[in-house]
Structure 1
């Protein structure tokens, strides 16, 4: 019995001993797993980065900023390893004192430098305007870990060719056979962009080498060649092109970045385009767009009526299908001309549009050798078909032919704007040859209407939304969308379509209103002239009245927009209004009147405005912008309050600032006036002192 008891006791003792050891081992293993790793030695650097993506902190142990960052970096590493360990990304460090040769080879100019690396090398620097907090680091890492562009193919090699001064000069002389995208670097040692390059004061040069390698391969399919120039070897050329910061290496500039140009072949003028210096990016898509759109718009290829109709009928999606990606909606600017009457001077304006069009996203230039006003009519008829097919509550609507003719008044040649997914179009109101050959006038019109059917509103561009084109696009219709998963995407697409249908129904009423206003003004003008004749007014007064223009006002338009709560803050805290007390769900609508800052979230019944019924949304839109066109009461609203970010460079004067400014100006004016009075007094006194002296005959005595 005792033996049995002792055996049981020993068994339990052994079991608990093993359990304790096991727990101790687990704790030790766990500790080891979460142990903050040591900096990567220079000798192991290439091996380490070959294992995936790395966000690397290049630091110096003597740098105060580095010491301040170290605990933040450690917390970031722990949180990321715990919560996002399945992503192929690691937070690492490199000690630039212990691994000085490595940091020199990687062109580390300052501490700490935080940079993203992939198996092929440096990808990009951590954005300088991002905060250095745990949350910001993790947000950056998640975004980059899910970006497929960060995983370059191992066999990819740069196809960029080193170009000499003479080769660049020949290209600029129009002797090239293909478009050439050329990069300029502050170095003299780089024969190939895959090879080692010694960069001084150019923190972006090393990451940009990878971008250039990808570009040299991706642009090949579009028959665009790539080359590079070492500015230390070609200082005169680089200075002539305005890239003097890239030479010499010791000019003390700490703002050096590679520069990029595109040279168009077979042209001796207007063939050089410089990528804007303030738009420098490490995103290949930016440079692809720069090269591809400039090449396309330089050619301005022909387009047919059938192609235009297909463009207008395309479906928009969030990028998860073969439909048009909502983030890549193209704008088609079409130059329409009659081959029987056109002259070479009519085409000259196209040359002057190439560069300014590059500043407008996704605008592509085409030409067609016939009138396409009939395409506009077909598009509007399709608009009415869309209304009838998607809104069973809508009343039968038909196209007002007179209204269409009124809005189609122009002369050949002229310009049209067509948007993907939009059956309506815009016609340039050119009534003379002078207008249709004026690039500035045409561009002002293009800037006004070259916007996608659905514009994305974000916390960063909201202020611009409120400033742009309020005279014409007076109202923003903002849909709350969600692209975070397929279910939300499907419902968001339905709401987008409903918003478009409601917008089309509103557009019908708006066109009717514009037409009625013009007819009324014409009638009033006619009656006024007749009144002058009946009262036997002076002939010159009658002539002046006859010459008065009836303005074709075409305002009160809608701007359709969406805010993606799958990507941004669902509370919309950046837009502070009393009605936004809680997050809005997918399908809800906010209406913003740009002209006076009114914000509508509820309809006249007190319900949240939504996109479930196009007719209901149309009635709310009419009550806000065209109240005479509906019996629906205008809902209650609040005034917009824009939250001003401290990082905003431009801020408006507050009333207090204006008072201070007025006081300062007044003080300056008074001070200036007092100085003038004092100078006059001194001059007068000096003059009187000179007069008040005793001459040869003595001082004059005045007697009674």
Structure 2
């Protein structure tokens, strides 16, 4: 202990020396600095911090006056403070502002910053009543917009309440009755749950802790009350996320449809390592490590252990993370039921229809998010293996970022009628809205070709769509092939229309292509909107119209190619028969597969809409250096190659693409897809990429030159060598002489 005290004394002396040096070399404050400081309240100290944060919500910046990043942030902080203090000329008290804004100088109030576990500057935090730490800002881009986004997200998370009164926030922070439903689970009980012995689904979080560090007495402790939270600050936000998820899922808990538990991996390393959570048992854990979450289903619903595999660290804020975990849980609970349902009930839940609004109509904004994969069974031929397949699909479907559901039904006649009504409505009415096209009409043969399958059949229905893909199967073993069915699901998981944002860009533009799922011919149709009601509905109709018309055209192209291949196949068989060919050859020709499928993603179109104001941010995040966002305005359209780095913003005549002429965009899509019309490049080639590229080209040219030169040299030598042998009857250029 004396040695430790000496070390601490030396550290404090060095800190004081460094502060003195900093003060000696610091620039004298300018009039501008003084003016900025006069526009915000003085920093809080240890004497008034807890008193000021006694009630309500607070955003607090912990800073050092000698930190360059703090100095750079300060003008934005002043603007952030004034924006929230005086909106529309009203003082925050009159306006009833939902949070207050403060600063803490960690040089002047080092004891307070030490108590709060401040590890770097500037650190921006969100506090609740009683100085309770609720969240920390992780976004490194700190301007007025991002700080407002952080504060408002925290307000939404901690204040939103479906069933509480206005005091819901304070109840939540106290939260003891609800949070007591989250119990530490012992190893013996966990083993029974893993075997499916639980009667209620259990959502269990696995922590890198021991039972003495985390238990029912310490789980709800504040940041400063539990040393483990201060050692590993990433775990405290997860504890808040876990609490908020309990609150969001309270209805399921109250109805005995879900229970919350947590498990300490360091006290039970063997079982956690067996579950694949070895990182949670290490003696020293990564500061970015988070607990793992598993939903354990009872045997009555398959007994599966469904792992939450999405990366919580990738979410921009706590609100988004809470929504993800709670929605994932709700969706997985629904998918695990797998009860025989009426098709109409499934259709109503998803919002799939046989009729869509035409151009100019204004109604409720359509929710395009839901996608359902439905196993349609024939009661007379259904077998237990069919349910086993659906049970195996729960985990991979849970891993999808789209809002995907699994259902089953024996209502096969209703399904067939629904599919035909959809196709007739799309082909005969919807894609002719304002533009009549005699060549595009419902074709019974094409519809049967696309939907012909054995039972059980698998179909995909989507909200706001008249097109439902069908898994094509000619033998029952195909529909029971797990890998083939999963491929069908992954190819069709995306909603009909998507919102392109920073958060969704990786889903809409995957960083790499999976050629078992995707095609290099896929396109993304970007439409710009300002979200004004009339304009947005025009954008919505444009995207829906272009999607449905081009999808029908694409299916028609596939149908024509299938017929052409089949015709060529039968012509070949007829020719072999006419020539009285061997029967084995005829059988081989008959067995030749026509491998064009309606369920591939060849030329698949993904319509997305983008907030016009956010386009520069999207372009920057995607690194589309050759696409100038300032050229586009609301109502403009950009067609982007999903994987090949090209884009089109004009038709082949040079006319700009807009929502005013959807037929122009459909025509461009046909030329790009079937006539391979080249687009413009999205990205400049960087200098570092050019050097190896140009070097490779130079080496290739040199090697080709050298190879050609060597060939010509050898040929010249050979011809010279063979001169004069022509009298012996030897061609000097084609043959060798026996005298060689």
1:271 aligned onto 2:304? yes
- Find the aligned partners of 1:258 and 1:406 in 2 and give their Cα distance: 49
Equivalent in the alignment of 1:353: 393
Greater Cα shift, 434-443 or 77-86: 77-86
Greater Cα shift, 70-79 or 95-104: 95-104
CA RMSD of aligned residues (A): 3.9
**Residues 262 and 274 in structure 1, CA contact (< 8 A), matched pair in contact too:** yes
1:561 aligned onto 2:613? no
Q: Specify whether residues 112 and 190 from structure 1 end up closer, same or farther in structure 2 by C-alpha distance, changes over 3 A only.
A: farther
Q: Specify whether residues 302 and 33 from structure 1 end up closer, same or farther in structure 2 by C-alpha distance, changes over 3 A only.
A: farther
1:56 aligned onto 2:65? no
> Which of 540, 564, 571 is residue 496 of structure 1 equivalent to?
540
Normalising by the residue count of structure 2, what TM-score does the alignment of the two structures yield? 0.72
- Find the aligned partners of 1:641 and 1:451 in 2 and give their Cα distance: 24
Equivalent in the alignment of 1:370: 411
Equivalent in the alignment of 1:550: 594
- Which residues of 2 match residues 247-396 of structure 1 at below 5 A? 247=281, 251=284, 253-266=286-299, 270-276=303-309, 278-280=311-313, 282=318, 283-310=321-348, 311-313=351-353, 323-326=365-368, 329-360=369-400, 361-371=402-412, 372-384=415-427, 386-387=429-430, 390-395=433-438
1:163 aligned onto 2:184? yes
Equivalent in the alignment of 1:611: 659
- Which residues of 2 match residues 86-485 of structure 1 at below 5 A? 86=87, 88-89=98-99, 92-94=102-104, 106=116, 108=118, 113-119=123-129, 121-127=132-138, 130-131=139-140, 136-147=142-153, 148-152=155-159, 153-156=169-172, 157=175, 158-159=178-179, 160-165=181-186, 166-185=188-207, 186=209, 187-188=213-214, 190-191=216-217, 193-196=219-222, 197-199=226-228, 201-222=231-252, 223-231=257-265, 237-247=271-281, 251=284, 253-266=286-299, 270-276=303-309, 278-280=311-313, 282=318, 283-310=321-348, 311-313=351-353, 323-326=365-368, 329-360=369-400, 361-371=402-412, 372-384=415-427, 386-387=429-430, 390-395=433-438, 397-458=440-501, 460-461=505-506, 463-464=509-510, 467=513, 471=519, 474-483=522-531
Q: SS at 2:140's partner residue?
A: coil
- Which residues of 2 match residues 554-633 of structure 1 at below 5 A? 554=598, 555-569=602-616, 572=619, 574=622, 576=624, 580=628, 582-594=630-642, 597-626=645-674
**Residues 174 and 268 in structure 1, CA contact (< 8 A), matched pair in contact too:** no
**Residues 188 and 233 in structure 1, CA contact (< 8 A), matched pair in contact too:** no
**Residues 619 and 625 in structure 2, CA contact (< 8 A), matched pair in contact too:** no
In the alignment of these two chains, the number of paired residues is: 607
Which one has the largest radius of gyration?
Answer: 1
**Residues 510 and 626 in structure 1, CA contact (< 8 A), matched pair in contact too:** no
Q: Offset of 1:365 from its aligned partner?
A: 0.5
- Find the aligned partners of 1:271 and 1:489 in 2 and give their Cα distance: 45
Q: SS at 1:464's partner residue?
A: coil
Q: Which runs of 5+ in 1 are unaligned?
A: 1-26, 628-633, 667-704
Equivalent in the alignment of 2:734: none
1:584-623, Cα deviation, whole Å (9 max, x unpaired): 1222211234576542212244321112233343333333
- Find the aligned partners of 2:232 and 2:48 in 1 and give their Cα distance: 24
- Find the aligned partners of 1:645 and 1:73 in 2 and give their Cα distance: 31
Q: Offset of 1:109 from its aligned partner?
A: 5.3
Normalising by the residue count of structure 1, what TM-score does the alignment of the two structures yield? 0.76
Q: Specify whether residues 180 and 54 from structure 1 end up closer, same or farther in structure 2 by C-alpha distance, changes over 3 A only.
A: same
1:51-70, Cα deviation, whole Å (9 max, x unpaired): 4331433x578xxxx72222
- Find the aligned partners of 1:49 and 1:644 in 2 and give their Cα distance: 56
- Find the aligned partners of 2:691 and 2:383 in 1 and give their Cα distance: 55
- Find the aligned partners of 1:141 and 1:198 in 2 and give their Cα distance: 28
Greater Cα shift, 95-104 or 151-160: 95-104
Equivalent in the alignment of 2:166: none
